[in-house]
Amino acid sequence: MNITRDEIISRTQCCMEELPPVWEGTLSQNEGVTIDRYIDAKIGETLRAIALVAPPHLLWVEEYPDLPTPEKHQDGSGSITLDTEILRPVSLLMEGWQRPVTQFITTADPRYELQFNLFTRGGTAKPVAVWNTHGSGKQRIEYYSLPASYKQHRILELTCIMPPIDNAASYDLAPVVVDALCYRCAAAVYDITGNHAMAEVMLSHTTL
């Protein structure tokens, strides 16, 4: 569904129902900032947080723009450095793999250490991909693995979740994501005002 920024603000206010007078006072004392401005400031940040945890089928999955050239390693593994920032990868399919990777692990995952052993690492039937951050600060995907005899590595598919535009006038979101966004924005406003108990109540309504 397409929802405007003003509609998000209005629905968030409805989630909060009627603010007790004491909280209205707290908001108005902060240089006259109104509740809708607090909500507006939290939309982009909150949507990013949701996009990091929500199932991909509820989000805006896109093909990665301008597929990069993978860096091939002698043992058949490789890495892909991303020049364009993404929030998270969704799927990766390399030429030679029998299926794509749709569950990415991190360097903290116990399975990561297994990728350094030729007998326990991923292969063409069950490839493994690691979502990593390069030492230079660039995002990177490490993948395991292709036969060492492959002379060239080529990406067939790379899909991802791109960062939302913070100040967009509208967003195209699944209804369940809209609900989560509004309740989380409401929780953020309650946290700003110091009403942490109500913030927890708002978060309890989210299903993502």
The 3-class SS string of the chain reads CEEEHHHHHHHHHHHHCCCCHHHHHHHHHCCCCCHHHHHHHHHHHHHHHHHCCCCHHHCCEEECCCCCCCEECCCCCEEEEECCCCCEEEEEEECCCCCCECCCECCCCHHHHHCCCCCCCCCCCCCEEEEEECCCCCEEEEEECCCCCCCCCCEEEEEEECCCCCCCCEEECCHHHHHHHHHHHHHHHHHHCCCHHHHHHHHHCCCC
pLDDT given at position 133:
76
Q: Please provide the average confidence, as pLDDT, over all residues in the chain.
A: 91
**Helix axes of 175-192 and 35-51: crossing angle, nearest 10 degrees:** 130
pLDDT given at position 29:
47
What tens digit of pLDDT does each residue of 47-94 get? 999 999 999 999 999 999 989 999 999 999 999 999 999 999 999 999
The ranges assigned to domains in the chain are: 2-58+164-204, 61-161
**Strand ranges across the sheet with 139-144:** 71-72, 78-82, 139-144, 128-133
Q: Which residue has the tokens 């100040």?
A: 167
What tens digit of pLDDT does each residue of 12-23 get? 999 887 555 545
Count CB neighbours of 103 within 10 A.
7
pLDDT given at position 33:
59
pLDDT given at position 17:
72
Lowest mean pLDDT among 43-47, 113-117, 133-137: 133-137
The number of C-alpha atoms within 13 Å of 191 and in the hemisphere containing its C-beta is 12
